[in-house]
Every structure is written in C-alpha cells, then in structure tokens.
Structure 1
Amino acid sequence: MRITVEHLTKRFGSVLANNRLTISFAAGQIHGVLGENGAGKSTLMKLLSGYMQPDEGQILFDGVPSRLCGPADALKAGVGMVHQEPLDVPAFSVLENLLCAAPRGVFSSRRAAQTALLELAERLGFAVDPAARLDQLTIGQRQQIEIMRLLLCGAQVLILDEPTTGITAAQTRALFAALRQIAAEGRTILFVSHKLEEVAELCDTVTVLRNGEVVPPGQLPMPQPQEYLLALMFGDAGASSAVYRPLPAITAPPVWELRQVTVRSGSLQIHDLNHTFAAGRIIGLAGLDGSGQQVLLRLLAGQITPERGQVLVNGRDLTGAGSLAFRQAGIEYLPADRLHDGMIGAFSLTDHFALLQRNGMIVDRRSAEELARQAIADYQIKATPITPIAALSGGNQQRAMLALVPPNARGILAEQPTRGLDVASARAIWGRLQARRDAGCCVVFASPDLDEIMEYSDEVIVCFAGRIGPPMPRALLSSGRLAELIGGVGFEALVEAV
C-alpha cells in the first residue's frame, strides 16, 4: 500500500513538530526515516498511525484521502505502529494481549490465535511463551510481541520506531530477514532508527527530517554516504566524538555493598552476590536480555527485597527498606520505559518539579516553574515548562528525566539510558552522566549495545543466565572478549577466578 502525505502540519503550542511535510512511501519497499530527537519523526509516525490528527494537510492511502480518528481506524485501514514504549497490558499474558487488541473476527478461537502467534514467532526467529505475563518480559521482548500482534491483525503498512532497541544481534538478524520478506510480499515498511548502519543494511530509501521539515525535499535512494546523512541530520553537531576522561582516585566510601545477597524476580534467581560499587565510577552491565541486569538494577534501587543477605547504601543497612528509603539515601533509578515507569506523561516538567519540591501539602508552583526553565536551558530540552512530557520526543524525555535527578544524588541506576536516542542526544546524555561521575556519583547502567558499554564504562559487569560476574576494568577488555563472556564463553572461569 502506497502512503502519501501532502502539506502535513502538526503543532504543539508554539512548537512546530511537522511543517507542511510532503512525502510518498511506495509499496513493497523498506523506507528509512532519520533525524535527531525532536526532528518530527515520531510525530509524523503517530499521525500516520492515527494516534494524532494533523492540524493541516492530508494523508492518502493508495491515492485515497483518509481521516484517521484513532489507532483502530488506522489498523482497519491497514496501518500499524510499534512504538518505542510498548503499548500493552502488563498484567495480561502474551496471548491475552493479542486477543484483546485484535479486531473482531480476526481469530476464530483462542487456539487459532495461539497457533498463528507461534507460527509467526518461529518465522521471525522470536522466542515467545503465549502464557507469559507482559510484566515479566523485557522491553525488547515486548516490542517483538507488538510487531507480531500488528502483523497478525492484518497490517499492510508496518511502522517501526527503533525496533532493534533492547533486542539481541540474533533477534535483529531474524527481524531484518522477516522485514525483507514482508516487503517482498507488497507491504510498506517505515523504519525509524538512529542507527545508520541498520538503515544502510536494510532500507531501500531514506527520508531525513530536521526541525520538522524534509531535508533535502523528497526521498534519497540507498545507499548514501554516512557522513552525508549525519550532516543532513545534525549539521556540524554530528561531527564531534565522545572523549573518555581519566578517572580521579577513589577516596569516598562505596555507594553500595552487597553481602551474600540472594534475590529472586519471577523465575530468575541470583545467588550469593558480593559486590561493591565505588563512588566516582560508571559501571556497565552487559548481557543478553533476561540475564539479570534489570534484577540487579532494581535490587540496587530498593525495588526488590532480597531473600537473604544485606544491601548497604553509604554504609547503612537498607535491606528491605523499600525504594523511598533508597531515594532518601540519594539513589535514583532511570527506567527504560520512560512514560510507564519514569514520569507521568500528562504532566509537564513544572508539574514534576512541583511534586519533587513539595513540602507536605504545600506546592510552590513559581519555584517549580523556575526549576523547569533552568532544566530546559541546562539540558537543552526542546519544550516549554508547561509542555506535557508525553508530547516530547524520546531524547527530550530522557533529558527531562535526568534533569529531575537531584544534584546531590549518590547513585544513578540507568536502564538503557540512550534507548531510542540519536547520536547527538546520546552524547549529550553521556556528557551529563560523566559529569555526575566526576562529581562523585556512582552510575550503574545496563545496555544491549556493546559499543556503548565499551565506550562509557569504567568497569564492566557481565550477567549470564542469572549469574553476575565480577567487576572488570574496561581497559582490560576488548569488544570480542566481552561478546564471548556475554555468550558464556569463559564466564565460568572468570567467576571461579574471583
């Protein structure tokens, strides 16, 4: 199905997210959509999938103008979107999510739905348990389930917003193979990504957005030089590179100490954790999905109570004290799912600061707005103090969430801190996290991106099948060695050597 947009415009207050866009996406092809955070990519995709309505212009499917009043209208027209933040019911199982989202008549029975789900999962190379609850799955697994749900509900146009974020290299290869087959069958695929290597490998054409406009007008056939695409996306901003800064000597006491800790989350149990997390360090957690990284982060945030052992924060035993006590001790958790777990989408940055700054029942709105203005300036957030968080791009949401971390935080736990961010935004976030480290904070982060682990970690901890390895200085690791350990090669010897 061919998609055409003509003079499509969308405003959020004074912010012009899409400015008279005119683009056409041919059927039977994979189209890349590039642009820095805030360039208008997500807004355009939400307009095409019915989650938003344009202020001006029109959308045509196979030359016929269409008015989409919601996602159900879009899916009925054959358009489905996989968002950066999964849209599902966490308390439901995989199969229940499929059944409650499917239009009436798509599946003749529960058994038919399960059979179709398993057949598609095998085709895409995804491992799926129809009975598994969504809240027990990783972000990457939930994104995969959304892809399958849309295809099973008849999507002829598949919009994917950063679909490879949080999934393994093997899953990415399987997904790409499936997308090529889907396009060959005549469907249209819009692939939004910040990973230029993926766009070069997968896409037939590319459209670049900057400041809500297409630059240059029209589509570009692939391949294109990476330097040219970066120049279109960022101008001169894409040319800089991150610089690793030497670490100061450690003089402060450790932020966390784990003593003989055993912890369980769902079916995953981690035994006998004895780890120390030093102040003034960035510690990367590397491993395949579900290997224990998220469990460790939630343990360090006080969100999980260990079955035995002690968790010390700044020398105090806070075992089982709960996340509020951990926050009062200076521990902040930045989840991967920004809108579901990190912030309130309908609230503005001013609202969030008001909640954090309140004194009992008293809220100082003027002070909160001033803090929001300062955060917008300091973190270069493309928003106003009263813009709802849900209206921001992924990169601006991440900057806003980091801006809410108190300046005296002792420990920051970040789950995929640059998930869905473009190159410039990711570097900006890491510049802020490195500044926190240099001020004496301990930053512990998990990422599926080995390049990110290698570039920004001072120490690396490998998680494998529910086992947590010892901290290793990044300077002693190579990318190849880290990949081997994540796959279990040499992991046993590493643990036994401690």
Structure 2
Amino acid sequence: MHIAVENLTKRFGPVCANDRLTVSFAAGQIHGVLGENGAGKSTLMKLLSGYIQPDEGRIVFNDAPRRLRGPGDALAAGVGMVQQEPLDIPAFTVLENLLCAAPPGVFRSRRAAQTALLELAGRLGFPVDPAARLDQLTIGQRQQVEIMRLLLCGAQVLILDEPTTGITAAQARALFAALRQIAAEGRTVLFVSHKLEEVAELCHTVTVLRNGHVVPPGQLPMPQPQEYLLSLMFGESGAAPPIYRPLPAIDAPPVWELRHVTARSGALHLVDLNHRFAAGRIIGLAGLDGSGQQVLLRLLAGQQAPDHGQVLVNGRDLTGAGSIAFRQAGVEYLPADRLHDGMIGALSLADHFALLQRNGLLVDRRRAEELARQAIAEYQIKATPVTPIASLSGGNQQRAMLALIPSTARGILAEQPTRGLDVASARAIWSRLQARRDDGCCIIFSSPDLDEIMEYSDEVIVCFAGRIGPPIPRALLSASRLAELIGGVGFDALVDVVR
C-alpha cells in the first residue's frame, strides 16, 4: 500500500513536533526514518497509525485521504505499528493476545487462529509457542508476536519504532530477514531508527527528520554516505566523537557485596555468588538474553531477595530489606521498560520531582517545577515541566528518568541505559554517567550492544547460563574474546582461574 502525508502538523503545547511534513512511502519497500531524539519520528508514526490525530494536513492511503480516529481505524485501513514498548497483555498467552486483539470476524475459531499463527511464524522464521504466556517471553519474542498479530489482522503497512532496541543480535538478524520477506510480499515497512548501520543494511530509502522537518525535502535512495546522514540528523557538525575517560586504579570500598548468594528466577538458578562491586567503577554486564543479568541487577536493587546468602550495601546487611531500604542507602535502579517500571506516563517531569520530595505530606510545587526546568536544560529534554512523560519520545523519556537520579546516589543500576537514544544523546548520557563514576558512584549496567559494553566499561562481567563470571578489566578484553565468553567458549576456564 502506498502511503503519503501532506503538510502534516502536530503540536504539543508550544512544541511543534511535526511541522508541515510532506513525504510518501511506496509499497513493497523498506523505508528508513532517521533523526535524533525529539526530531518528530515517533510523532509521525503515531499519526500514521491513529494513536494521535494531526492539527493540520492530511494522510493519504493509495491516493484516498483517510481520517484516523484511533489505531483501530488505522488497522482497518491496513496500517499497524509495533511500539518501542510492547502493547500486549503479559498474563495472557500468545494465542489469547492474538484473539483478544483481533477485530470481529478475522478468525472463525480458536483453532483457525492458531493454524494461521503457526503458518505465518514458519514463513517469517519466528519460533512461537501459542500456549506461552507473554510475561515469560523476552522483549524480542514479544515483538515477534506483535508483528504477527498485526499482519494476521490485515496490516499492509508495518511501522516499527526503534525495533532493535533491547533485543539480541540473533533476534535482530531474524527480524531483518522477516522484514525483507514482508516487503517482498508487497507490503510497506517503515523502519524508525537512529542506527545508521541498520538503515544502510536494510532499507531501500531513507527520510531524515530534524526539528520536525524533513531534511532535505522528500526521500533519499539508499545507500548514502554515513557522514552525510549524520550532518542531516544533527546539523553540519554531525555527532561528537566518543569520549572515554578511564579511571586510574584505586583501592575503593565496595558499594555492594554478595556473600554466598543463591537466587532463582523461573528456570534460571544463580548459585553461590561472591562478588564485590567497588565505588568509582563502571561495570558492564554482558551475556545472551536471560543469562542472569536482570536477576543480578534486581538483587542489587533490593527488588528480589536471595534464597540464601547476604547482600551488603555500603557495609550494611540489607538482605531482604526491600527496594525502599536500598534506595535510602543510595541505590538507584533504572529499568529497561521506562513507562511500565520506571515512570508514570500520565504524570509530568514536575510531578515526578514532586513525588520525590521528602517533606512529609506537603509538596512544594514551585520547587518541583524549578527542578524540572533545570533537568530539562541540563539533560536537553525536549519537553516542558508539565508535559506528560508518555507524550515524549523514547530518548527523552530515558533522559528524564536519568535526570531524576539524586546527586547523593552511591550506586546506579541500569538496564540498557541508552535504549532508544540516538548517537549524540547516548554519548551525552555516558558523559554524565562517567562524571557520576568520577565522583565515586558505582555504575552497573547491562546492554545487548557489545560495542557499548566495550566502549564504556571499566570492568566487564560475563553472564552465561545463570553463572556470573568475575570482573575483567576492559583493557584485557577484545570484542572477539568477549563474544566468545558470552557464548560459553572459555567461560569455565575464566571462573576456574579466579577460584
């Protein structure tokens, strides 16, 4: 299906997210949409998929203007969107999610829906268990389910907003193969990303947004020089080069200490963890999805109590004390799912600062709004103090969550801290995290991006099949060696050396 927008405009208060956009996307192709955080990419996609309505302009499908009053209208017209955060019901099975979301009459019976699901999964190369609950699946697997749901419900245009954020390299390869198959069948794919390498590998054309405008007007055929695309995204200066500031070796006390800790999460069993996490270090957790990184972070945040053993924070035994006691001890946890676990989407940044105030029952609203203005300026968040968090782009949500970390934090635990951020924003975030480390904070982060692990870690801990390896100085690792350890090659020898 051919899709076009003409003079499309969308404002959020004083912010003009899309300013008279005019662009079209041909059927049977994969179209990349690039831009820094807040450039207007997600807003354009939500307009096309009916989640929000334009203030001006029109949307045209196959030369016919359409007014979309909601995502149901869009899907009936043939457009479906896969959001950064999966829109599903975690307590339901894969098949139940498909049935409850399908418009009336799409499937004759439960058996017909399962047959269609398995046939499509085989064609796209997605392994699927119709009886699996969504809360037992990874983000990448839930994304695959969402893609199949939209296609089975009639989507001829598939929109994906930062789809490789938070998924493994293997899942990304499977996704790319499936998208090529979908385009080959004549459908239109809009691929929103900030990763130029992925757009170069996958897309037939690219549209670049900057400050709510298409620059230059219209589409560009791929390939294009990376430097040229960067200049379009960020201005003529492009993105700043990465800056890594290694810290000299110091004998620092531990922020956390695990003593003979054992913990379970589903089928995953962590046994006899004995680790010390020193102040003034950035420690990267590397491993395949589900290898133990999230369980370790939750133990260190007090969100999961160990079955056996002790968890010490700054020398105090806080085993089983709960996440509030850990926060009072200076531990902050930044989850990967920003809106479900990290912030309240309906509230503004000022509201969040008000909630964090500790003055009994009284709230100083003026102070909260002043703190929000300072955070917006310091973290370059494209919002006002009263803008609902849910209306921000993914990158701006991430920056807002980071801005809420108090300066007194002694330990920061982060799942994918640059999830959904463009190159420049990610580097800005890491510059701030490095400054926190230099002030004596211990930062432990997980990421599926090995380049990020290698670039920013002082030490790397490899997680493999529920086993947590010893910290390895980054200087002793190469990217190829790290990849081998993640796959289990040489992992046993690494652990034996420490013993």
Residue equivalent to 2:287:
287
Partners of 1:62 and 1:196 in 2: CA distance? 29
Q: Which runs of 5+ in 1 are unaligned?
A: none
CA RMSD of superposed structures (Å): 1.3
Is the 1:80–1:158 Cα contact (8 Å) retained in structure 2?
A: yes
Residue equivalent to 1:310:
310
Residue equivalent to 2:384:
384
| Corresponding position: 1:68 with 2:74 | no
Partners of 1:122 and 1:485 in 2: CA distance? 31
Partners of 2:302 and 2:99 in 1: CA distance? 35
Residue equivalent to 1:224:
224
Where 1:462 maps in the other structure, the secondary structure is strand
Q: Write the letter of the residue equivalent to 2:388.
A: P
Partners of 1:169 and 1:251 in 2: CA distance? 36
Partners of 2:265 and 2:108 in 1: CA distance? 36
Q: Are residues 279 and 172 of structure 1, via their aligned partners in 2, closer, same or farther at CA, if it must alter by over 3 Å?
A: same
Partners of 1:288 and 1:118 in 2: CA distance? 26
Q: CA deviation at 1:236?
A: 4.1
Which moves more between the two structures, 413-422 or 138-147? Answer: 138-147
TM-score by length of 2: 0.97
Where 1:255 maps in the other structure, the secondary structure is strand
Which runs of structure 2 are paired with 1:337-376 in the superposition (5 Å)? 337-376=337-376
Residue equivalent to 2:2:
2
Which runs of structure 2 are paired with 1:74-473 in the superposition (5 Å)? 74-473=74-473
Where 1:88 maps in the other structure, the secondary structure is coil
Is the 2:246–2:458 Cα contact (8 Å) retained in structure 1?
A: no
Partners of 1:165 and 1:301 in 2: CA distance? 23
Where 1:413 maps in the other structure, the secondary structure is strand
Q: CA deviation at 1:237?
A: 4.8
Partners of 2:205 and 2:362 in 1: CA distance? 54
Is the 1:125–1:171 Cα contact (8 Å) retained in structure 2?
A: no
Is the 1:126–1:171 Cα contact (8 Å) retained in structure 2?
A: no
Partners of 1:302 and 1:33 in 2: CA distance? 40
Q: CA deviation at 1:452?
A: 0.4
Identity of aligned residues (%): 86
Q: Are residues 103 and 194 of structure 1, via their aligned partners in 2, closer, same or farther at CA, if it must alter by over 3 Å?
A: same
Q: CA deviation at 1:391?
A: 1.3
Which moves more between the two structures, 175-184 or 71-80? Answer: 175-184
Q: Write the letter of the residue equivalent to 2:364.
A: D
Q: Write the letter of the residue equivalent to 2:101.
A: A
Partners of 1:344 and 1:458 in 2: CA distance? 33
Is the 1:237–1:424 Cα contact (8 Å) retained in structure 2?
A: no
Q: Write the letter of the residue equivalent to 2:385.
A: P
Is the 2:239–2:424 Cα contact (8 Å) retained in structure 1?
A: no
Partners of 1:84 and 1:237 in 2: CA distance? 29
Is the 2:42–2:161 Cα contact (8 Å) retained in structure 1?
A: yes
Is the 2:255–2:411 Cα contact (8 Å) retained in structure 1?
A: yes
TM-score by length of 1: 0.98
Is the 2:2–2:25 Cα contact (8 Å) retained in structure 1?
A: yes
Q: CA deviation at 1:233?
A: 0.2
Q: CA deviation at 1:247?
A: 0.5
Partners of 1:243 and 1:482 in 2: CA distance? 21
Runs of 4+ in 1 over 6 A off after TM superposition: none
Q: Are residues 120 and 497 of structure 1, via their aligned partners in 2, closer, same or farther at CA, if it must alter by over 3 Å?
A: farther
Where 2:59 maps in the other structure, the secondary structure is strand
Where 2:118 maps in the other structure, the secondary structure is helix
Partners of 1:187 and 1:127 in 2: CA distance? 22
Q: Are residues 236 and 430 of structure 1, via their aligned partners in 2, closer, same or farther at CA, if it must alter by over 3 Å?
A: farther
Residue equivalent to 2:25:
25
Partners of 2:482 and 2:402 in 1: CA distance? 28
Partners of 2:195 and 2:336 in 1: CA distance? 18
Is the 1:23–1:218 Cα contact (8 Å) retained in structure 2?
A: yes
Q: Deviation string for 1:143-177 (max 9, x for gaps)?
A: 22212221222211000111112222222222212
| Corresponding position: 1:496 with 2:492 | no
Partners of 2:129 and 2:311 in 1: CA distance? 33
Q: Write the letter of the residue equivalent to 2:49.
A: S
Is the 2:140–2:171 Cα contact (8 Å) retained in structure 1?
A: no
Partners of 2:185 and 2:490 in 1: CA distance? 43
Is the 1:457–1:474 Cα contact (8 Å) retained in structure 2?
A: yes
Q: Write the letter of the residue equivalent to 1:18.
A: N
Which runs of structure 2 are paired with 1:22-61 in the superposition (5 Å)? 22-61=22-61
Partners of 1:57 and 1:113 in 2: CA distance? 38
Q: Write the letter of the residue equivalent to 1:70.
A: G
Q: Deviation string for 1:70-96 (max 9, x for gaps)?
A: 111111111110111111112222222
Q: Deviation string for 1:39-77 (max 9, x for gaps)?
A: 000000000000000000010100111111111111111
Partners of 1:127 and 1:427 in 2: CA distance? 35
Q: Are residues 424 and 492 of structure 1, via their aligned partners in 2, closer, same or farther at CA, if it must alter by over 3 Å?
A: same
Partners of 1:14 and 1:449 in 2: CA distance? 36
Where 2:309 maps in the other structure, the secondary structure is strand
